[in-house]
Chains A and B, each alone.
Chain A
Amino acid sequence: MAKPKVATASLAGCFGCHMTVLDIDDRILKLIELVDFDKSPIDDIKHFTGRCAVGLIEGGCCNEENVHTLQDFRKHCDVLISVGDCATMGGIPAMRNGIPLEECYAEAYLVGPSVHNPSGRIPNDPELPLLLDKVYPCQEVVKMDYHIPGCPPSADTIWETLVALLSNKTVDLPYELIKYD
């Protein structure tokens, strides 16, 4: 039987959650035995090659490309998981939600203390995705099946969740893994 496929994406996140996936240490070898990786920054596969059992999403949606990617994941994955606080609730990037978008653009491209931009214009290259009016947690854009809190969630939490899911068992996370202070 073919191994189930897992895809991952980092949207408006810091890659911390992805780094934590790698933090499962030598269990990564076991993971490779259990699954194949499809579209993911880990193997640099850019496009889905087929249907996936699980999609792991880091980060919420701050721009149109994030939305597009997330919707693409929803189309291709049976189960979608928000990994980390950014995906679940918006996280640090969502701190801009109280600030008008115009001011965010100005700070980034025009008036910020480290900005050097003699043109005085906000860049307008189609390569640069348009920002959304605010940062959305994944759940507000597509239906997410599970949420793993934490910034980032510990490697053990991610591991336990994946293994439980792939072996069709309920996750039973010990208290230490879901305690956050």
Chain B
Amino acid sequence: MNPNLETDIRQICKEFGNDRGRMMDIVIAVQKKHGCVNDDAMDLIAKTVATHRVEVESTVSFYAFLSTRPRGTIVIRLCHDIIDKMHGSDAVAAALAREVGVPFGQTTSDGKITLEYAPCLGLCDQAPAALVNDVPVTNLSTDKARWMVQELRKHHDPNQLVTEFGDGNNAHELIRSMVYNNIRKRGEVVFAEMKPGEALQKALSMSPAEVIREIKASRLRGRGGAGFPTGMKWEFTRGAPGDNRYVMCNADEGEPGTFKDRVILTECPDLMFEGMTIAGYAIGGNTGILYLRGEYAYLRSYLEHVLADRRKKGLLGKSVCGAKHCFDFDIRIQMGAGAYVCGEETALISSCEGTRGDPKNRPPYPAQKGYLDCPSVVNNVETLCCAARIMEKGAAWFAQMGTTDSPGTKLLSVSGDCKRPGVYEVPFGIPVREVLAMVGAEDAMAIQIGGASGQMVGPKDYDRPISYEGLATGGSLMVFGPKRNVLEAAHMFMDFFVEESCGYCTPCRVGNVLLKDRLEKILNGQGEPGDLDYLQELGQTVKVLSRCGLGQTSSNPVLTTLKNFRNVYEGLVKVNQDKFQSSFDIKAALTPARKIIGRESVIYT
């Protein structure tokens, strides 16, 4: 055993109060120091925080960024979501594998470089992109990929790959990243100027009940996807019995094609933290947790700095904004480690509690029993920004924007086949067609709205508004140009869900695989009309019988393409006369035996 391991683990566990509830932080820190969390490390951690070894292992084995076996000192994670593929990530992958000398999933023999795929890095507006350890490298070409590897072989320092900084705070000394914000349209809610403390002062001059009343009056709805009324959520949480209450800000942003929270975290963290603080005051809580996805680790030092600054200004900590309010509030950052399902609010809570990111049964809802069984509010980054702005400018001001059922503005993350990918702050209710004109995608053959779990719609729906009552989205809008194949897109989305299902319930764990296989059969030209009914029926089953939002929406790519692009399916299937499965290939099935035995088949010649 590495002699330093024991000392390091003692030290790290101590730093987190030997609290097994902080398992995520512990294992992330151990991995950072030792490259992985191996058997010895897991034993030691279990002993130090007085838990079972299996608990440590179940956490470590769950997250894509954690590993029980050593990986290279440099891990290159190439994003292989659909948008990156459309922008040539397959060629980049081939170039990387050639230059590094190992296939994806493997480490060079000198232990220096590991190649991996990542499902979505939140950089679709500058795809293809990769993370080199924590450092995002964007707009990859095959040339840039080769250059990157050559550089890394010289200096082994991912930071040195950043030769030019992106705009705005991406150039801040604590970020120093090549990422661009690509803010294409600023609205009045999120991307407007703000003075830290202003909204908070206003909130603190009211009673918590008045703050909640104001948020309710604004009719603000959650921006994370489900659109639950925020004021009501805060009210439930305030009303639930418990000694502690928590505010959790959901910055997991794992939905493919979404990256607007990345831009908020880079440019408007004060607004978000202010929203969290206001939420804390409203529900009667003293602690906020920002759950930051592992992919955005490069923003962490900067966010810590903003938090420190707010503490200095008296906007966080003991007696926020002066003693007369008797309100203590502070915020910590909880890092994620590469798991889409952790964006689901109960899985997020599991992860913050230091366990696998398993969703929990609901009810009880987080508002009743959330983090550490205490009433908790989970809100999206953008929702909290809106809440802060509502405090500053008033509910009436907010409610007059957008539509009756969807007031305010919405940030859209636009990517894919369009001239101007990036983030747009638009009023709710805007028709798809108008957005497409704005982003330079008038010829779009289809759009996927709401991310992988959203819907695929075609031109006949382009006059519909983007809103909760119309086409709903947590922010993702992916554009597919005239040459794309919607079924291939649906297939890639299914690939994503198969990968990201937590595996707890059978309809989701198995059903998504079956959906994907059947789609593959159809794409291979072996489908028959009955396969469409099968997809419809199975898709419905997965939707209805799954435990959490992942499984309840994972069949949407199939169900919505079946509904809106049925002709594409119908063009691919044909009636099977002899009722033999065309997907069964007897020649291929006999190949291994023919080789082993050394003769041909006498039946299938």
Contact = CB atoms under 8 A, between A and B. Distances in A.
B506 interface: no
Contacts of A67: 584, 586, 589, 604
Interface in B578-600: 578-581, 583-584, 586, 588-594, 596-599
A130 B584 contact: no
Given A64-B590, A136-B584, A140-B584, A130 B597 contact: yes
A140 B582 CA distance: 9
Q: Kindly name the residue among A64, A71, A100, A129 whose own CB sees the greatest number of chain B CB atoms within 10 A.
A: A64
A124 B594 CA distance: 10
A119 to B, nearest CB: 14
A65 B581 contact: no
Contact of A133 (B578, B589, B602): B589
A5 interface: no
B593 A101 contact: yes
Q: Considering residues B586, B593, B602, which has the most beta carbons from chain A within 10 angstroms of its beta carbon? A: B593
Given A129-B603, A132-B589, A105 B596 contact: yes
Nearest to A77: B579
B518 to A, nearest CB: 12
Interface in B197-219: none
A136 B589 contact: yes
Given A74-B579, A130-B593, A140-B583, A65 B603 contact: yes
A130 B594 contact: yes
Given A124-B599, A130-B597, A133-B592, A141 B584 contact: yes
A143 interface: yes
B51 interface: no
B589 A101 contact: no
Interface size class of B (residues with CB under 8 A): 20 to 34
A129 B601 CA distance: 8
B160 interface: no
Interface string A61-77: 00011011001001100
A28 interface: no
Contact of A141 (B580, B593, B597, B599): B580
A155 interface: no
B404 interface: no
B576 interface: yes
Interface string A100-131: 11100100000000000000001010100111
Interface string A37-65: 00000000000000000000000000011
Contacts of A101: 592-593, 596
A130 B589 CA distance: 10
Contacts of B601: 64, 130
A67 B584 CA distance: 10
Interface string A9-20: 000000000000
A178 interface: no
Given A102-B596, A124-B597, A133 B583 contact: no
A133 B581 contact: no
B516 to A, nearest CB: 15
Given A68-B603, A105-B596, A133 B588 contact: yes
A31 interface: no
Contacts of A140: 581, 583-584
B528 to A, nearest CB: 8
A171 interface: no
A71 B596 contact: no
Contact of A126 (B576, B579, B599, B604): B599
B447 to A, nearest CB: 35
A142 interface: yes
Contacts of B584: 67, 136, 140-142
B601 to A, nearest CB: 6
A64 B603 CA distance: 7
Contacts of B580: 71, 74, 141-143
A101 B594 CA distance: 11
A130 B590 contact: yes
A19 B604 CA distance: 31
A130 B588 CA distance: 12
Interface string B543-567: 0000000000000000000000000
Nearest to A139: B581
Contacts of A136: 584, 589
22 contacts: A64-B601, A67-B586, A71-B580, A101-B593, A101-B596, A102-B592, A102-B596, A105-B593, A124-B597, A124-B599, A129-B603, A130-B594, A130-B601, A131-B593, A132-B589, A133-B589, A133-B591, A133-B592, A139-B581, A140-B583, A142-B584, A143-B579
Interface of A: 64-65, 67-68, 71, 74-75, 100-102, 105, 122, 124, 126, 129-134, 136, 139-143
**Top 9 A-B pairs ranked by shortest CB distance?**
A130-B593, A143-B579, A132-B589, A101-B592, A131-B593, A126-B602, A133-B592, A141-B584, A64-B603
Given A133-B589, A142-B579, 5 more contacts: A67-B584, A67-B589, A71-B580, A130-B594, A142-B581
